[in-house]
Structure 1
Amino acid sequence: MDEQRSPHPAGGANSIWRYAPVVLVIAGLVLGYALGLQNYLSLTFLAEQREALRAYVDANFLWSALLFLAVYILAVAFSFPAASVLTIFGGFLFGWLIGGALVAVGATIGASILFLATRSAFGGFLRHRVDGVVKKMADGFRENAFGYLFVIRLAPVFPFFVVNIAAALFDISLGRFFTATLFGILPGTFAYAYLGQGVDSVLVAAQASGREAQISDLVTPEITLAFFALAFVALIPTVVKQIRKRGNTG
């Protein structure tokens, strides 16, 4: 009898500990806001400190790049809403090529950490709790995980952290998630980094007019349409695959 009961406490402990990564993410996000980090991850801060930041990067390029990479990973892992601003920071401080590369690596690693934290707590959530049409959609998403994720990353309709969490609920493999995220964000990442490279004139103009600079001052409708066009083209192979599959099934 004792041997049969002994596994239950351990199982309960394991069940509780699986939520620890998610609790840590939430705690880190709350702590970040409590410390006022959002005030430093803004175009206003960049406008005020742009000369000092550039001087520091020029004097400590390698250390600055590593520090920026670490900050980006932590910001994404803790779901801090600063991805676009930090990408512009990267382009401004390191140039569009190096800045974009640092952002792509940092965003992918940070997203993967959040993905794993969510999956440890809620992995397989939809698979075990839904049925019917929703289950078919979930199964279809898992089967074509790379294609769907790649398209979603190309056209950032949904907030970055929402996609990281949602993907974990669909029980997608880490390899597919990592690869689709890395390659899917590349166009947008380098586009924003390129905008950041020329943000100095926008910041100066905003200061001269007595208002705060906004990301909307940089992003043009043409760039937004280009992202959606890329996503549409990328979606075509997945749609064709689904149509062929249904045809063969019928």
Structure 2
Amino acid sequence: MTDTTHASQILRRLPIILIGVVAVLGAFFFRDSLSFDALAQNREALLAFRDSHYFLAALGFVALYAVIVAFSLPGATIMTLTGGFLFSLFPGALFNVVAATLGAVAIFLAARWGFGAQMARRLEGSDGLVRKIKDGIDENQWSMLFLIRLVPAVPFFLANLIPSVVGVSLFRFAVSTFLGIIPGAVVYTSVGAGLGEVFAAGETPDLGVIFEPHILLPILGLCLLAALPVLLKTLRGKKGL
């Protein structure tokens, strides 16, 4: 390997390396800054700024949320709640989804640019959850892309990383991310929209609300709908044996 080739590889990997470094530093330095307590303490100042500079507040919120997602910093859930608290269910949910999608696209592009071909070869030899997601994407991209967004068990960072190295187009990734995170975003944004009463009572929000049957069952139904093409293809393959 020539010095030029080696330097080129390092340059290509700089974005994803930067994301990793910032994520580690952010987990250490900002874990207390982006918390429910911090939101409670600064709620009046945030509301005052929103009332005085609504457009700037909305733009700044989306930008900050996108950066938090892009660099895998702690506080994404708090940001979703903040979106509901500051901007209500709508347009708060829209701001949350747009910001999270922008951050996810940043990770997707950084990983594809830095590790595309090499990472794809490694995934071919992997096993477990990562290999199952990769195989599913290879079989039916749209279904699996929606499924990994809807299923809470799949880490958000992993759902951004794997599609970037298995040939998923940026358009499919962005669309499936935007639409796939809407159910969860709406639930948590609605919780954030009711934080005024929670603050007044001196309580903390119930983030386990997403596991309530009336919320979880519709999301599971969407998961089944997303997985249906994969299941049908598997059944047809077995019948053909």
Using structure 1 for the length normalisation, give the TM-score.
Answer: 0.83
Separation of aligned partners in 1, 2:65 and 2:18: 17
Q: Following superposition of structure 1 onto structure 2, how do residues 93-104 of structure 1 map, counting pairs within 5 Å? A: 93-104=86-97
Deviations 1:209-243 (A, max 9, x none): xxxx2553654523234322321232213321333
Establish whether residue 233 from structure 1 lines up as the match of residue 229 from structure 2.
Answer: no
Task: State the AA in 2 paired with 1:75.
Answer: I
What percentage of aligned pairs have identical amino acids? 35
8 Å Cα contact 2:133/2:144 also seen in 1: no
Pick from 105, 111, 116: which aligns with 2:104?
111
Task: Find the counterpart in structure 2 of residue 80 from structure 1.
Answer: 73
Task: State the AA in 2 paired with 1:236.
Answer: L
Secondary structure, in 3 states, of the residue corresponding to 2:154? coil
Deviations 1:52-71 (A, max 9, x none): 21121111100000000000
8 Å Cα contact 1:155/1:230 also seen in 2: no
More divergent stretch after superposition (222-231 vs 78-87): 222-231
Separation of aligned partners in 2, 1:128 and 1:88: 39
Deviations 1:47-86 (A, max 9, x none): 2222221121111100000000000110000011322221
Distance 1:218 1:136, change over 3 A: closer
Segments of 5+ residues of structure 1 without an aligned counterpart are: 1-6, 208-212
Task: Find the counterpart in structure 1 of residue 212 from structure 2.
Answer: 221
Separation of aligned partners in 2, 1:137 and 1:228: 18
Task: Find the counterpart in structure 2 of residue 4 from structure 1.
Answer: none
8 Å Cα contact 2:140/2:230 also seen in 1: yes
Separation of aligned partners in 1, 2:137 and 2:208: 36
8 Å Cα contact 1:97/1:190 also seen in 2: no
Task: State the AA in 1 paired with 2:39.
Answer: L
Pick from 159, 163, 166: which aligns with 1:167?
163
More divergent stretch after superposition (163-172 vs 98-107): 163-172
- How many residue pairs match? The answer is 237
Separation of aligned partners in 1, 2:165 and 2:94: 28
Task: Find the counterpart in structure 2 of residue 182 from structure 1.
Answer: 178
Separation of aligned partners in 1, 2:49 and 2:164: 38
Deviation at 1:245, TM superposition (A): 4.6
Segments of 5+ residues of structure 2 without an aligned counterpart are: none
Deviation at 1:193, TM superposition (A): 1.0
Task: Find the counterpart in structure 2 of residue 21 from structure 1.
Answer: 15
The structure with the largest alpha-carbon Rg is: 1
Using structure 2 for the length normalisation, give the TM-score.
Answer: 0.85
Task: Find the counterpart in structure 2 of residue 62 from structure 1.
Answer: 55
Distance 1:57 1:146, change over 3 A: same
8 Å Cα contact 1:124/1:171 also seen in 2: no
Secondary structure, in 3 states, of the residue corresponding to 2:2? helix
Deviations 1:122-159 (A, max 9, x none): 22346424359887973542231221120121222222
Separation of aligned partners in 1, 2:177 and 2:222: 15
Pick from 9, 13, 38: which aligns with 1:45?
38
Pick from 121, 126, 129: which aligns with 1:128?
121
Secondary structure, in 3 states, of the residue corresponding to 2:41? helix
Distance 1:186 1:217, change over 3 A: closer
Establish whether residue 9 from structure 1 lines up as the match of residue 30 from structure 2.
Answer: no
8 Å Cα contact 2:15/2:110 also seen in 1: yes
Separation of aligned partners in 2, 1:132 and 1:20: 24
More divergent stretch after superposition (216-225 vs 156-165): 216-225
